[in-house]
Amino acid sequence: MNRLDAYFIGLVFAHLGVVLVHTTAHLALQILPAPPDTAFILAVILTGPVATLPILRFNPTLASALLTVVMAAAFAYGFPGHFLIAGPDQVAIVGSHAWTMVFVATAVGIGILELASIAVGVTLFGRSVRNPSGHPAPPR
């Protein structure tokens, strides 16, 4: 396993952990998503990144492409909802509550982890495409 693989795995697990804490804050603050949003959150934000992990071992090109797409979709969904669009999910609107800081901090953390995952996914994809064996060339 090379360094990029380790970053890939670490980012996926860090993202999962922060998303689970953020979900707990959502529930504590009684900010519940609509059913279509729930389906997207479960499929793309929770399951998508974790599903790339077993693929990474056998097909790093596919795994890195999938991670990049899933994290980009998650960021495109979460960033506007948490920071741009007025609504119950926006961090500036959430009322003062014991879970408010957790909600805000995890929203920021999720965004940072998604951007970092996109960067690692793009880098790993580029290296695996340049090296047809399917395993990224070692960094120089």
Orientation angle between helical segments 3-28 and 48-58, nearest 10 degrees:
170
pLDDT confidence band for 130 (50 / 70 / 90): confident
Structure confidence at residue 89 (pLDDT): 84
**Predicted local distance difference test score (pLDDT) of residue 82:** 92
> Quick one: pLDDT at residue 136?
52
Q: For residue 11, what pLDDT is reported?
A: 98
The predicted pLDDT at position 107 comes to 96
pLDDT digits (tens, 9 = 90+) for 60-104: 999 999 999 999 999 999 999 999 998 888 888 767 788 999 999
Q: Dump pLDDT digits (tens) for 7-33.
A: 999 999 999 999 999 999 999 999 999
Q: What is the pTM of this model?
A: 0.89
Kindly report the number of other CB atoms within 10 A of residue 85's CB atom: 10
CA angle 133, 136, 140 (to 5 degrees): 125
Can you give the pLDDT at residue 13? 98
3-state secondary structure string across 65-89: HHHHHHHHHHHHHHHHHHHHCCCCC
